[in-house]
Chain A
Amino acid sequence: MDLLADLTPLFFTLVFVGVLIGILFGAIPGMTATMAVAVCLPLTYSLNLREGLALLLGLYVGGISGGLVPAILLNIPGTPSSITTTFDGYPMTVNGDGEKALKIGIISSLFGGLFSAAILFFFAPALADIAIKFSYVEKFLIIFLALTVIASLSSNVLVGIFSGVLGVWISLIGTYDVSVGGNGDTRLMFDFMVPYLEEGFSLLPVLIGLFGLATILQEAEKGVKDEPLCADVSLSNRAKFSMRDFKGQIINLFRSSSIGTFVGMLPGVGGSAASVLSYTQAKNFSKDPSKLGTGAPEGVIASEASNNGLTGGALIPLLSLGIPGDSTTAVLIGAFTLQGIQVGPLFIGENMETWHTMMVALVVANLVMFFVMFFAIKYIAKVITVPKYILYPIIVMMCVVGAYAINYGIMFDVWTLLLFGVFGYLSGKIGIEVAPLIIGFILGNSAEVYFVKSLESFGTLTIFFTKSPIAMFLWVLIAVSITYSIYTTVKSIRTKRANAGH
């Protein structure tokens, strides 16, 4: 009955407002769910813990979900975890299926969110015990598995691997930070660069530069005419969205939501790895892998189900171990500490009411996200009918503001945006593949830390193969993923040759 006493109109209003602000943060390139939660954290001071959590969980779900809007409509991932949504979402928009892609993305997000909330509710403590079986070695192998997507995403495997390695290399520029157990030394730069690159290139400006700015520069080269990105968001000659689009995708939905939840519960692996990993698996298990990357709904489903699956997953270690599962829950933990509440292995048992209230907030936040986005989407999607000469300057302005704001006002982040925008534009000319590069960039840092720490802890390379049955199983998955990528590449080359012969 105490639970019912907590479910006041204020509680639901806070969830609603949180979701709404979160969606805006997620949808604006350069702003993320983490920022949304960080910005609103001080407001929870004036609320009690449960009301504060209602607001923050709304922001979390909204922020993660909002990222799909610019990813699909503008080819700019609103948040790092929606990067794989661009791979198929944007081609769908270009093909005139923007609204359909958005609706598929939103329903997948809802499914992923509710699936992970259910897993969180029923299995949190048990899964936390599994999560602690993943040491540095297993976490490195998970990231390595996600990196295998590079091979399957590339149109030319060798160039793709080169681009991926280049991305990893760029991610290592900066300081080997003591906060991750490093020695605090800077590397891969000349001394004069240290004041700018001490902390390396920031993720968001790189991401927006490579995707958003580069696309705009390419358009600028062609000449931005008085025409919209797409005349109509769902062209009349194309099929409208219907639930039939999910036919044959149930396994994909469950698999991607599970991967999202699972990666979310491993502290330190990072949200982007979840969507990359589930996109890889969607491609590997697809009946026609060559379609992924060209506007296949299953790619959008995989990406969005997994990144929302992350929300419940990342709360598992937070509430069962006191350890945040991703960067947003790392901020969320502040709501507990500001109220003087400890989170740890006994949190759920000792705070049943708070736990139940959080679950209600999480489920309500997902439902609110769905209704707000699903029914507002046909209006939001009209953004692509705005003439490009008006739309693009606005996007550039938003990108610059987002880049400047991401680290509390660092001008070098704006230069990073420009630098990687130009780099992304030139990459298209010289053949470097941007998608593998950005995946290498996102995962490179964690891969390095876990690889080095594994070696420091165990002192031998063989530990990667012999550490545990989990490690061995991950090697099997890695081998399958790589073999399958090679198989599909060879198959597509043969098909092309056969077609050319005809």
Chain B
Amino acid sequence: MKRLLLCLGLIVSVSVVTPVADGVAAEKLITGNMRVVIGSKSTGGDTYQNSAIVAQALAEELGIDVKVDAVGATAAFKTMERSGQDGNTIMIFHDQAYLAYLYGIKGSADIFKELKIGPTIAINPGNAYLVPKKSPYQTIDAIIDACGKGTKVRVAIQPGGVSEIGYTAMKNAVKLKYPGSEENLVAINTGSQADKNQLLFDGQADVINGSVQANEQYTRLPEDDQKAMRFVWLTARKGTIEQANPEGMGQTTRDDLMKFVEPNAVVPYDASSNFVFDKEFIFLYNKNMSPELVAYLDNALTKIYAKGEIQKIQKKSFFIPDFLPSTESGPYLMKKMERIEKIISGMK
């Protein structure tokens, strides 16, 4: 009955805030509510899920109400330009925050100049490329070779972000191995995961970008099912997948997933290294937010991660905890961006 009353109380208030608990920090630099705008409009995606986990923990640690708003990238950047100096509005997004700028997408911002980089919080290791189960391409290497031998291979992606970066890397790999043949790898620009899947079902794409979370069940369908798919490449680092829970996702274990990362699935970056990419989630702040507030949030997150509970929740949802305080995350992301920029500009 008590549980019922608690839930009723929660619902009737139609509160959109995350419940507050104790654990109030000694000196409260942020009071009242915190609004977390995210770079995605979806409440069913990984950005919302990740942000909700961190928001819950922050609410408890700081003793404030934290609300996540799925406003989308353009609206989130605009919000961060005009507010957030007081730390009451922050943004959470992933690598697309700078990738969109590198790809020249309108409405995107140079986060390194226009915003302040906050801590990284987690990795979604699931960024994947898939083919139909009946596809002649058994491996990512076979796709690169097919392009080199003059076969046109169509890859369905959403332009300007994490979805496109793997495509760019594949194209770069074709160029390295078979110079001049990279034009045989063709991007089909589309939107949602549903659209990418549909292109594969229709035979209008040979390869699609997807994710372990969204596509794992499709990989377990029988081969004669029109919807059946197969992973050929996960962009994540080997070390990242190794940190996942052994049970992996759905009925695909961590060991199964290891078959699709280097050294088992290799996309060369240059003569001496391979391309790997972890999709990382980052805090972004208003440019003028004070260093005290940045340190205050860093401290709060350091305490949250030191407790070890958030890591369990993240891992249960197939995220890899990846906390780096602001002092380290900025230079780290800048280096990551510069490495990626080389292949993007090389393909222009």
Chain A bound to chain B: yes
Q: Which residues of A contact B (CB under 8 A)?
A: 9-10, 13-14, 17-18, 21, 38-43, 45-47, 51, 55, 129, 132, 135-136, 175, 177-186, 198-199, 267-268, 317, 321-324, 330-334, 336-338, 340, 342, 344-347, 407-408, 410, 449, 453, 456-458
Q: How far is the CB of A193 from chain B (nearest CB, A)?
A: 14
Interchain CB contact under 8 A, A184 and B160: yes
Tell me whether A178 and B105 are in contact (CB under 8 A): yes
Q: Which residues of A contact B195 (CB under 8 A)?
A: 180-181, 268, 453
Chain A residues with Cβ under 8 A from B100's Cβ?
178
Which of B44, B218, B317 is A345 in contact with, Cβ under 8 Å? B218
Would you give 26 A-B contacts (Cβ < 8 Å), ordered by A? A17-B12, A39-B14, A42-B67, A43-B7, A136-B198, A178-B100, A179-B192, A181-B191, A198-B74, A322-B217, A323-B192, A330-B43, A331-B44, A337-B46, A337-B48, A338-B49, A342-B214, A342-B249, A342-B250, A344-B250, A347-B217, A407-B75, A408-B71, A456-B189, A457-B188, A457-B199
Q: How distant is the Cα of A186 from the Cα of B74 in the complex, in angstroms?
A: 13
Q: How far is the CB of A403 from chain B (nearest CB, A)?
A: 16
* Nearest CB of chain A from residue B40's CB, rounded to whole Å: 9
Which residues 1-46 in B have Cβ within 8 Å of A in the complex?
3-4, 6-8, 10-12, 14-19, 41-46
Q: How far is the CA of A180 from the CA of B42 in the complex (A)?
A: 13
A330 and B42 in contact, given A132-B198, A179-B192 (Cβ under 8 angstroms): yes
Q: Which residues of B sit under 8 angstroms from A9, Cβ to Cβ?
A: 4
B190 interface contact, C-beta 8 A: yes
From the candidates A51, A333, A344, A457, name the one contacting B204 in the complex (CB within 8 A). A457
CB distance from B9 to the nearest CB of A (A): 10
Report the bound CA distance from A181 to B209 in whole Å: 13
Residue of A nearest to B160 (CB): A178
A317 to B202, CA, bound (A): 17
With contacts A179-B41, A181-B191, A186-B106 known, is A129 near B226, CB below 8 A? yes
Question: When A38-B43, A179-B158, A345-B227 are in contact, do A13 and B75 touch as well, CB less than 8 Å?
Answer: no
Instruction: Output the least CB separation between A457 and chain B (Å).
Output: 5
Of residues 278 through 306 on chain B, the ones whose CB sits less than 8 Å from some CB of chain A are: none
**Shortest distance from the beta carbon of A203 to any chain B beta carbon, whole Å:** 14
The SS class assigned to the A binding surface is: helix
Residue of A nearest to B227 (CB): A345
Decide: A181 and B213 in contact? CB cutoff 8 A: no
Residues of B within 8 A of A (CB): 3-4, 6-8, 10-12, 14-19, 41-46, 48-49, 52, 56, 67-72, 74-75, 100, 105-107, 158-161, 188-195, 197-199, 201-202, 204, 213-218, 220-221, 225-227, 249-250, 316-318
Among A47, A136, A324, A337, find the residue whose CB has the most chain B CB atoms closer than 10 A. Answer: A337
Which 4 A/B pairs are nearest by Cβ-Cβ distance? A344-B217, A333-B44, A334-B43, A180-B191
B60 to nearest A CB, angstroms? 12
- Are B194 and A21 in contact (CB-based, < 8 A)? no
How far apart are the CA atoms of A46 and B14 in the complex, in Å? 14
B159 touching A344, Cβ below 8 Å: no
Q: Whole-angstrom distance between the alpha carbons of A198 and B105 in the complex? A: 13
Which residues of chain A are near B70, meaning CB under 8 Å? 38
Partner of B227, one of A38, A45, A47, A132: A132
CB neighbours of A340 from chain B (8 A): 316-318
| Chain A residues positioned under 8 Å from B227 (CB to CB) | 129, 132, 321, 345
Q: Give CA–CA (A184, B191) in the complex, Å.
A: 12
Q: Closest CB-CB distance, B69 to chain A, in whole Å?
A: 5
Task: Using CB atoms, name the residue of chain B closest to A185.
Answer: B106
Q: In the bound complex, do residue B8 and residue A13 qualify as a contact, i.e. CB atoms below 8 Å apart? A: yes
Would A43 and B11 count as touching, CB distance under 8 A? yes
* Interchain CB contact (< 8 A) of B43 among A41, A136, A347: A41
New A-B pairs, 10, CB < 8 Å, besides A323-B192, A340-B318: A13-B4, A17-B12, A55-B11, A177-B191, A184-B105, A330-B43, A331-B44, A337-B44, A337-B45, A345-B227
Given contact pairs A39-B16, A346-B221, A324 touches B44 in the complex (Cβ within 8 A): yes
Q: For A47, what are the chain B residues with a Cβ–Cβ distance below 8 Å? A: 7
What is the minimal beta-carbon distance from A118 to any residue of chain B, in angstroms? 24
**Cβ contacts under 8 Å, B68 to chain A:** 42
Nearest chain A CB to B11 CB, angstrom units: 5
Given A10-B3, A184-B160, residue A342 in contact with residue B217 (CB < 8 A):
yes
Question: What residues of chain A lie closer than 8 Å to B198, measured between beta carbons?
Answer: 132, 135-136
Q: Which residues of the partner chain B approach A14 to less than 8 Å between Cβ atoms?
A: 7, 11
A402 to chain B, nearest CB (A): 15
Q: Which residues of B contact A332 (CB under 8 A)?
A: 44
Shortest CB–CB separation between residue A267 and chain B, in angstroms?
A: 5
Query: How far apart are B216's CB and chain A's nearest CB, in angstroms?
Result: 7
Q: For the complex, what is the distance from the CA of A267 to the CA of B49, rounded to whole Å? A: 22
B316 to chain A, nearest CB (A): 5
CB nearest to A268 among chain B residues: B194
Q: Is the CB of B11 within 8 A of A40?
A: yes
Q: Which residues of B contact A17 (CB under 8 A)?
A: 8, 11-12
What are the residues of chain A within 8 A of B216 when measuring CB–CB?
A: 342, 344
Name the CB-closest residue of A to B250: A342
Give the residue of A10, A317, A334, A458 whose beta carbon is less than 8 angstroms from that of B44. A334
Give min CB distance, B28 to chain A, whole Å.
Answer: 22
Given contacts A39-B16, A330-B44, A342-B216, whether A323 and B193 have CB atoms under 8 Å apart is: yes
A residues less than 8 Å from B18 (CB atoms): 42, 45
Residues in chain B near residue A456, CB distance under 8 A: 188-189
User: Quick check: A181 and B158 within 8 Å, CB to CB?
Assistant: yes
A184 touches B11 (CB 8 A): no
Are the C-beta atoms of B193 and A42 separated by less than 8 Å? no
Are B158 and A346 in contact, CB atoms less than 8 angstroms apart? no
Contact status B43-A181, CB under 8 Å: no
A322 touches B214 (CB 8 A): yes
List the B side residues contacting A317 at CB < 8 Å: 194
